[in-house]
Amino acid sequence: MKYQIRKKLIIFGAALFLFRCSSDQKKNSMIDTKNTTINKKVDSLLSKMTIEEKVGQMNQYNGFWDVTGPVPEEGNAKNKYEHLRKGWVGSMLNVRGTENVKAVQRIAVEETRLGIPLIIGFDVIHGYKTLSPIPLAEAASWDLKAIEKSSRVAAIEASASGINWTFAPMVDISRDVRWGRVMEGAGEDPYLGSKVAKARVKGFQGDDLSKNNTIAACAKHFAAYGFSEAGKEYNTVDIGTSTLHNMVLPPFKAAVDAGVKTLMNSFNELNGVPVTASKYLQRDILKDKWNFDGFVISDWASINEIIIWGHAENKKEAAKLAATAGSDMDMEGYVYVKELANLVKEGTIKEEIVDDAVRRILKVKFELGLFDDPYRYCDATNEKENIGTKEHHDAVLDVAKKSIVLLKNENNILPLKKKGQKIALIGPLADDKNSPLGSWRLGSDDNTAISLLEGMQNYKENTLVFEKGVDLFNGDVAFTQQVHVNTTDRSKISKAVAAAKNADVVIMTLGEHGFQSGEGRSRTEIDLPGLQQELLEAVYKVNKNIVLVLHNGRPLAIEWADENIPAIVEAWQLGSQSGNAIAEVLYGDYNPSGKLPMTFPRNIGQTPIYYNYKSTGRPNKEPHVFWSHYIDSENTPLYPFGHGLSYSSFEYTNFTVHGGNSFSVNDTVKVSVDLKNTGAIDGKEVVQLYIRDLVGSVTRPVRELKGFELVPLKAGESKTITFNLSKNELGFFNNDGDFIVEPGKFQVFIGGSSITKLEKSFELIKK
């Protein structure tokens, strides 16, 4: 009987497999046919275009607001409209709202000779109007479905507002907490970064780009922008090939494999070549080796910046270098529109280079369905009904809760009791409805986030008092401006101390404002800005029962707080629903499950600090000073990559490498572990798997993340978690950029953070 059932199951399984294969084949052949049809249409259109019209497709203009960089002299509205009418503009950014988009689209479609529609770009970085957590925070959820959903919501809202192309995801790996843009990426690790990149591309682009609620994604910034020297914005980058291939490029490759339609290059140079002019990156790797068939856009006027870097003498040379290198579209640089047609006419650049770029751009426009209906994203009813909906707020609340990381919780001070408590909420960010929106919120409205004060007010059976304690800034804050941190006005501290004295628990809400990280916002100090540390210590003198809620767009150095404050909650900038999400975690209505995607240093001097470092030749503590260390700080971080606590506790047992401990380089190594929720409440744990390849022809990091699973477990429940390590996980890129797997000894580690001690080993042998 059993046998028959099993047999039936096998037959059913085989039938399902064949069905899947044949439906996959069908899907693939449909994609092929679609591609061929589109390619034919592209070729036919291309054959009708003059060189000026072709170059026009490679030209993108900014709309008339929300500028993120200097505008060239030519950038006035009159010129732009004139160029638009001549068919010299292929794309616009920062035009939004169905009416505005319709207006520029109408000129492109109805007034130009060939009527080629514009592709409309916008920085939809973590939401459009309804904002999700900043991307670094979302990565802390390690919840790929929630991340995909959040990008989906962003795409639905942006597309309803006329936009069909987002300049996201940013997939730059960065190890430098000084760099302001770490808030925009997925942190320091290429494995997690690749998974997040894929989820975000899928969320934006969906299964069918031609739907009116999916938008083209753009993996940026290609490449190595996150390795800006000293974390200084727009700085030079000088990294070796091993770091380039093993750390920087994998998330871009993952985005390309996920079908991302565009990439953006970047402001940095790499080993002496501004990347906008890098043929090696854009043609040799991206377009040739990876077969990327979408297009590359420059960053804001980065073609111009080739001149300022000192790599081209003038615009003409910059245009030649960038186009030849494979930079297909010029963002607000006025270089291509001015120079490229002449360069072709005089024979300096082959027309094929322009044709290649234009083909790529037109193909994406066809895929978006813009030629079928250029106004498909301009439906005013859709705009009214699909932006800021309850469903979207629920989705961003969900991912916001999941993004919170419980860094410390001594004596179970958290979760808070729901009744009979006097709670003092103190800090400049506690009632701030603006800061949780982060610095990329161009489609949203200022001061629309739920503040922590509002979130806490939902719990009515406790007494809540609020005191600011200190102001973070003197004067206003804005997207494009420097902030002026308050370092002198202490007048509110005494009131906060008085409130703390009478409280059972103090919630201190401190950290960075949303406009203290992001583009153009590098810092040389990463402690609590302004007078916040002073405030914290003053409150601590009168009440030690403190929960510190951190808001920040980068890891901060909070060594004093870690030593003295019993509970610390990392709440980043969590978007529109911030305060509700934090309150739910503080009160235990959501059991925290986030894990850090980036190492927290003890002090700024340890930067860059990251978990996947190399051994060095002298890693071990010695009685003398001649080993790899600092004489005034520990080597270890304050909180390691992957760290995060829960109100549950988890036990790992039966860690097993299956099938012995010796495998061929072509084998898949199966490892498993049993995970038990030993706590009193249901919770989730991110089980992380790391490897170490002990000897490599290129030295390998001491640990590398190669698998993870977010596991929900009821109180007392156990589950076996299995990972399969194949070539993809066990190999690496050598210094020629080739992926190889080398025989030799490996260690494998499993646990709830990157410093887990659960370890096994195995060997790969040549067979």
So which residues are the catalytic ones? 299
User: Which residue of 149, 220, 468, 554 would you call a contact of ligand BGC, by CB under 6 A?
Assistant: 220
Q: Which of 169, 167, 159, 178 lies closest to 139 in space, CA to CA?
A: 169
Which residue in 300, 466, 540, 600 binds ligand BGC (CB under 6 A)? 300
Select the residue interacting with ligand BGC from 60, 68, 265, 612 (CB under 6 A). Answer: 68
For 447, other C-beta atoms within 10 Å of its C-beta total 11
d(CA 614, CA 624): 22
Question: Residue 214 in 3-state DSSP?
Answer: coil
278 vs 688, beta carbon nearer ligand BGC: 278
- Whole-number Å distance between alpha carbons of 668 and 663: 8
x/- letters, 258..297, toward ligand BGC (CB under 6 A): ----------------------------------------
**Bridging pattern class, strands 669-677 and 683-693:** unpaired
Instruction: Provide the minimum distance between the beta carbon of 179 and ligand BGC in the complex, in angstroms, as a whole number.
Output: 12
Distance between the two ends of the chain, CA-based, in angstroms?
Answer: 42
Residues comprising the chain, all counted = 767
The answer to whether the peptide bond before residue 415 is cis (omega within 30 degrees of 0) is yes
Q: Which is nearer to ligand BGC, 126 or 595 (CB)?
A: 126
Specify whether the CB–CB gap between 580 and 455 falls below 8 A: yes
Give the shortest CB-234-to-ligand BGC separation in angstroms.
9
Task: Give least dist CB 712 to ligand BGC, A.
Answer: 35
Task: By CB under 6 A, tell whether 733 contacts ligand BGC.
Answer: no
**Min dist. Cβ of residue 69 to ligand BGC (A):** 5
Per DSSP, the residues of 240-303 read: -HHHIIIIISHHHHHHHHTT--EEEE-S-EETTEEGGG-HIIIIIIIIIIS---SEEE-STTHH
**Sequence-separated (6 or more) residues with CB below 8 Å from residue 585:** 401, 404, 406, 415, 569, 571, 592
CA atoms of 159 and 434, how far apart (whole Å): 24
Instruction: Determine the residue type at 63.
Output: G
Query: Which one, 134 or 671, has the nearer CB to ligand BGC?
Result: 134
Which DSSP category does 451 fall into? P
Nearer to ligand BGC, 181 or 393 (CB): 181
In the complex, minimum distance from the CB of residue 356 to ligand BGC, in angstroms, rounded to a whole number: 23
Residue least distant from ligand BGC (Cβ): 167
Q: Which of 739, 706, 741 is nearest to 724 (CA)?
A: 706
Task: Output 119 or 583, the one with its CB closest to ligand BGC.
Answer: 119
Q: Report d(CA 754, CA 749) in Å as an integer.
A: 9
Rounded least distance, CB 207 to ligand BGC, Å: 25
By beta-carbon proximity to ligand BGC, the closer residue of 112 and 265 is: 265
Minimum CB distance to ligand BGC, residue 623 (Å): 49
Residue closer to ligand BGC by CB (options 68, 509) is 68
* Amino acid making up residue 728: N
CB of 183 to ligand BGC, least distance (A): 12
Based on the shown chain and the rule CB under 6 A, indicate whether residue 393 belongs to the binding site for ligand BGC: no
Amino acid, single-letter form, for residue 450: I
* Binding map of ligand BGC across residues 497-526, x = CB under 6 A, - = no contact: ----------------------x-------
**Distance of closest approach, residue 181 Cβ to ligand BGC, in angstroms:** 8
Q: Tell me if 299 contacts ligand BGC by CB under 6 A.
A: yes
Identify the bridge partners of residue 684 per DSSP, sorted by sequence position. Answer: 712
Residues 133-172 that bind ligand BGC (CB under 6 A): 167
- Tell whether residue 69 is a contact of ligand BGC (CB under 6 A): yes
Query: Which is closer to ligand BGC, CB of 299 or CB of 339?
Result: 299
Q: Which residue, among 321, 324, 322, 272, has the nearest Cα to 299 in the 3D structure?
A: 322
Angle (CA) 17 19 20, round 5°: 65
Nearer to ligand BGC by Cβ, of 216 and 750: the residue is 216
Q: Which residues contact 533 (CB under 8 A, 6 or more apart)?
A: 527, 560
Size of the site for ligand BGC (CB under 6 A): 9
Map residue 646 onto helix, strand or coil: coil
Rounded Cα distance between 14 and 375, Å, is 46
The distance of closest approach from Cβ of residue 196 to ligand BGC in the complex, given in angstroms and rounded to an integer, is 17
Residue 123 touching ligand BGC (CB under 6 A): yes
Contact status: 553 vs ligand BGC (CB under 6 A)? no
Q: How are strands ordered across the β-sheet holding 218-222?
A: 218-222, 262-265, 295-297
Crossing angle of helices 315-325 and 351-367, in 10° steps, is 60
CA-only gyration radius of the chain, Å: 27
Nearer to ligand BGC, 139 or 582 (CB): 139
Question: What are the structure tokens assigned to 444, written together?
Answer: 């949203």
Binding residues for ligand BGC (CB under 6 A): 68-69, 93, 123, 167, 220, 299-300, 519
